Structure 1
Amino acid sequence: MFSLNVQQGAPVIRAAEPFDTKSLWLPAVFLCLLAIPFGWVGVFAPTIWLGLVAIENTRGGKKTASFLLTGVLMFTVNSGLIPGNEHITVLPPYNDADGNLIYASFRPAKAVIALTFVIFMLLRPQPLKRADLPVIAAAISVPVVAGIVLLGVYPKLTATIAIAALINLLVVCIAEEGFFRWILQRGLGEWLHKWRWLPTILVTALFTTLHTGWAASPVLLTLVAVAGLGYALVWQLRGSFWACVLTHWGVNLLHMTLLKYPT
């Protein structure tokens, strides 16, 4: 299991024991079944799993290579280069008076990555701690309050929005935080340990850049950057995967239900 310790004021994640043969291969075999509903995208699930395991079971240069290869693999699977990554729609989209849409849909790649991380975290749990909650609340509040000030309040809730929010939690937030926090920010943090705040800045910049196609205005892109910085700071200060997931979801949930989405 992972333990969360404090070393010179910074959270440090340690694996108490390496993955044994059973805990390594049984999940990999199960994840092979994702090829049935998700086709070629699902084929990569056991490979991503083995990459996550390699990160925990190696040290030094091999660990660095495992971070790099796993990150490249996850990015490639989610990029659309693998066939069969088209959106799967659950309900017709919500459409407001200004033509803004909220889709209750997901891409298979993010579902595959999210499920792989859920299984990983079940075997290597990171429980939330009481001290995480104020940091989570602050990281949610800043971009949401800024959004209310800049965009106004547009409260709304329908069945489509509720399902979209659930998908956002179970698929989008887990997959994105797995990539940005557990792989990128954590990996860069180990590589650039002498400059402990640099990974926070770099990952925030990348997170914002990868959302430029979705953000429909400079104001929204600025809010994305503020939110992304909040997620990165939660990781930097608390080192908790689930704290980052809940922060990400809290911002997205309040964006969907209180603000124009997107704008």
Structure 2
Amino acid sequence: MYSYMDIQLPLELLPSFSVYTLLVSLLLKPGKPPSLLLSLPLLAILLITSWLTQVIDWRTAAFLVFATLIISQVQSKHLPIKTFAWIFLSLVPLMLALHLVPGFTKTTVFGPALLGNSSIPYTLSAHLDKALGAVLILFCFRYWVSNTSPSNLKNETNIKPELFAKLGFAMFGIFLIGYILGVNTDFKFGQLTLAFIFINLFVTCIAEEAFFRLIIQRFIFLKSSTASAAIIGSSLLFTLAHFHTGPGAIERLSLIFAAGLLYAWSYQRSNSLLLAILLHFSINLIHFSFFVYPASFTH
């Protein structure tokens, strides 16, 4: 069982993540995007603050500025430039999420240690690189991607009351399947829960949903014009991104695929990235708070 002494909250991350939280909150706000006169200075403050607190080095900051300039050309009238910008937009957030871009301070908040009744060591890390990948994607789709795409990929959302009932039923089904497979209940709340809430919502869920919905799912749908292909294809890639081996891996990956289907379906039906993010976060928080986490199975 962990103790409060096992949790490390590095103070040097607080300025960067404070600015980041404000910036992504503005970018995710439904309706008209915030003025570039507000969001671009916030992005600059985020990079400068991260450099001054030595969370990133100057080369990383310069690379991110360069990446932003390239990605801003996704609607260029020149096809080679436009193609390169889209490739850059697809690869850079992935590289950041996989921690392949050097110059970031690696920060572990907790672990590796056993959490509750789980038999699998758990590590909670605060990765600014993954978070900045989300910022690049959100900037692109809020300011530089036109709304001339197919109807259910425009900015208008389509959220109806009955959708929440269907999502609630599907969430219950996922946890029921997990329980049947052998994921036991394990109630746990504490200081780590607060750290998990912030990092999982503002880093993990925002970054993953921005990438898999706006980049992957959107691309598959535009190329296939088939909602089912976009949902299944993005869910398979979502599962592949979480691939691992070891005891219980097949069961865990099956549940991840089921959750990926739910996130993709909710986005395809509602066209709301925010809904997909909150759905992803809700499932993760319920799993973390009420079940063995990471999932280990009893047979």
Same-fold call, TM cutoff 0.5: yes
Q: Aligned to 2:185, what secondary structure does the other structure show?
A: coil
Q: CA deviation at 1:44?
A: 4.3
- 2:33–2:142 contact (8 Å) kept in structure 1: no
Q: What are the within-5 Å matches in structure 2 for residues 74-89 of structure 1?
A: 74-85=93-104, 87-89=106-108
Deviation sequence 1:95-150 (CA, Å, 0-9, x none): 33444344332222112224455667887987794545345434433322222232
Q: TM-score normalised to the size of structure 1?
A: 0.75
Aligned to 2:261: 229
Seen in structure 2, the aligned counterparts of structure 1 residues 196 and 70 have a Cα distance that, compared at 3 Å, is same
Alpha-carbon distance between aligned partners in 2 of 1:21 and 1:98, rounded to the nearest angstrom: 46
Amino acid at match of 2:175: V
Aligned to 2:275: 243
Amino acid at match of 1:109: D
Aligned to 2:11: none
Aligned to 1:8: none
Aligned to 1:157: 189
Seen in structure 2, the aligned counterparts of structure 1 residues 68 and 87 have a Cα distance that, compared at 3 Å, is same
Deviation sequence 1:67-102 (CA, Å, 0-9, x none): 332011111222232224564123455633444344
Q: Are 1:188 and 2:230 an aligned pair?
A: no
Number of aligned pairs? 246
Amino acid at match of 1:181: R
Unaligned runs of 5+ in 2: 1-30, 145-154
Amino acid at match of 1:146: I
Unaligned runs of 5+ in 1: 1-15
Seen in structure 2, the aligned counterparts of structure 1 residues 126 and 165 have a Cα distance that, compared at 3 Å, is farther
Deviation sequence 1:148-204 (CA, Å, 0-9, x none): 2322322222211331132100110001111111111112322332x3321222111
Alpha-carbon distance between aligned partners in 2 of 1:259 and 1:223, rounded to the nearest angstrom: 14
Amino acid at match of 1:70: L
Deviation sequence 1:195-227 (CA, Å, 0-9, x none): 332122211111111111388521111101101
Aligned to 1:33: 48
Seen in structure 2, the aligned counterparts of structure 1 residues 197 and 97 have a Cα distance that, compared at 3 Å, is closer
Between Structure 1 and Structure 2, the one with more strand by share is 1
Aligned to 1:145: 176
Seen in structure 2, the aligned counterparts of structure 1 residues 145 and 241 have a Cα distance that, compared at 3 Å, is same
Alpha-carbon distance between aligned partners in 2 of 1:239 and 1:59, rounded to the nearest angstrom: 27
Aligned to 2:90: 71
- 1:181–1:232 contact (8 Å) kept in structure 2: yes
Identity %: 22
- Aligned with 1:107 (options 127, 130, 139): 127
What RMSD, in angstroms, separates the aligned Cα atoms of the two structures? 3.7
Q: Which has the larger radius of gyration?
A: 2
- 2:93–2:134 contact (8 Å) kept in structure 1: no
- Aligned with 1:204 (options 232, 235, 243): 235
